[in-house]
């Protein structure tokens, strides 16, 4: 198993979503890093978020953010 840069960009964007409420989302502005804008579009296409510029996590996104949080906690130094 290997993580490529596109996946890492998607992990990075997912990690920006608030964890304390399902009713909070994010909004990427046009001046955001291109890698995050592209990651948002890919996550939207995959059904992870409900808007190509951020929005809210879908049910799939909520499941994924739990896993991203666990991976981050386990790997941080």
**Each residue's pLDDT tens digit, 47-73:** 999 999 999 999 999 999 999 889 889
**Each residue's pLDDT tens digit, 8-23:** 999 999 999 988 777 8
How does the average pLDDT of the chain come out, rounded?
92
**Length of the chain in terms of residues written:** 77
Check the CA dihedral 9-26-47-75 and report its sign: positive
Residue 75: C-alpha distances to residues 26, 51, 53, 68 (Å):
25, 29, 28, 11
State the pLDDT confidence band at 1, using cuts at 50, 70 and 90: confident
Specify the pTM: 0.89
């Amino acid at each position: 198993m290997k993580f490529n840069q596109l996946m890492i960009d998607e992990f990075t964007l997912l990690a920006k979503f608030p964890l304390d409420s399902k009713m909070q989302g994010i909004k990427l502005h046009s001046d955001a890093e291109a890698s995050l804008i592209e990651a948002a579009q890919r996550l939207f296409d995959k059904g992870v978020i409900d808007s190509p510029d951020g929005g809210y996590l879908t049910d799939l996104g909520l499941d994924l953010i739990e896993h991203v949080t666990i991976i981050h906690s386990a790997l941080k130094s």
